[in-house]
């Protein structure tokens, strides 16, 4: 993991939890306590945190709390979709959770007693998943932020990270769903994730709220018949007929 990736992960954890201890960071990041201390020293120099005995706390700066605020549009609908998705997960299963706000909300639903293992590129969800999962695997790549959600980019590193990985279920979203254009995304790096989903699971659930229909992102991600299941809060008859004909399960949480 690159230095910049570690720094961003530490920042996100501190924004959410306001404090962190060195032992937890060494475990999460897979580095020595010496490396963690150097990272904390650097972030303290930047004014982001204040070191305390055995760890650090978030510095009392307005920017620290506002710059990476998670922006969730259609929150009520996405909460319902995430809750229904969570109910499809069985105890002891392994799952993939993608980037995006609905995936982040799904991560919040997982409990320790579920005994779930998670593979993800959703950096923002790490501090939620780590205390509540048997295993958490973060797939590699450069870390970026969109709407306050941090995730790793695609590309060759994603391909390498997913080599040999297989999960019971995968949960993702997309930018747009269109009868002609299929499933599309706004960022090219997201395409790498969708290209590999069929290789890591035979049970892909697409989570989409009503704002996704008849929208087209810049990059083609997958055909309409690619997911095995769609969870949504609303779907008109035209789309319902299309997915029924393709044998895709549709769950609607109104």
Residue 219 belongs to domain with CATH number: 3.40.50.1360
What is the residue-level pLDDT of the chain in tens, covering all 254 positions?
678 778 888 887 887 777 888 888 888 788 899 999 999 998 888 888 888 888 888 876 444 444 445 667 888 899 999 999 999 999 999 999 998 899 999 999 999 999 999 999 888 888 789 889 999 988 866 565 565 665 665 555 566 777 789 999 999 999 999 999 999 998 877 888 888 899 999 999 999 999 999 999 999 999 999 999 999 999 999 999 999 999 999 999 97
Do 167 and 188 share a domain, yes or no?
Answer: yes
For tokens 């969708």, name the residue: 194
DSSP code, position 130? T
Do 53 and 84 share a domain, yes or no?
Answer: no
92, 217 Cβ separation under 8 angstroms: no
Structure tokens at 154: 């695609």
Alpha carbon 14 to its chain's center: 18
Do 120 and 61 share a domain, yes or no?
Answer: no
121, 159 Cβ separation under 8 angstroms: no
Do 11 and 107 share a domain, yes or no?
Answer: no
Structure tokens at 244: 């029924």
Instruction: Give Rg (Cα) of the chain.
Output: 19
**Last residue of a domain, which of 66, 89, 120?**
66
Full-model pTM = 0.73
Do 94 and 172 share a domain, yes or no?
Answer: yes
* Number of domains into which the chain is organized: 2
């Amino acid at each position: 993991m690159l230095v910049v990736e570690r720094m961003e992960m530490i920042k996100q954890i501190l924004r959410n939890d306001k404090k962190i201890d060195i032992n937890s960071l060494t475990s999460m990041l897979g580095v020595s306590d010496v490396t963690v201390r150097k990272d904390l020293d650097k972030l303290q120099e930047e004014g982001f945190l204040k070191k305390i005995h055995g760890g650090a706390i978030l510095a009392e700066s307005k920017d620290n709390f506002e710059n990476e605020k998670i922006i969730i549009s259609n929150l009520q609908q996405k909460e319902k979709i995430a809750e229904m998705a969570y109910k499809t997960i069985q105890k002891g299963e392994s799952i993939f959770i993608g980037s995006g706000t609905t995936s982040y909300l799904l991560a919040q639903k997982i409990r320790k007693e579920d005994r779930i293992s998670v593979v993800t590129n959703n950096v923002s969800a790490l501090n939620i998943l780590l205390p509540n999962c048997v295993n958490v695997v973060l797939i590699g790549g450069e870390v970026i932020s969109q709407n306050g959600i941090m995730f790793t980019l695609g590309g060759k590193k994603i391909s390498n990270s997913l080599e040999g990985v297989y999960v019971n279920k995968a949960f993702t979203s997309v930018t747009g769903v269109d009868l002609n254009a299929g499933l599309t995304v706004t960022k090219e790096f997201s395409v790498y994730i969708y290209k590999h989903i069929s290789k890591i699971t035979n049970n892909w659930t697409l989570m989409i709220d009503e704002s996704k229909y008849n929208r087209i992102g810049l990059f083609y991600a997958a055909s309409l018949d690619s997911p095995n299941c769609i969870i949504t809060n609303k779907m008109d008859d035209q789309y319902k007929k299309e997915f029924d004909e393709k044998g895709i399960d549709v769950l609607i949480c109104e």
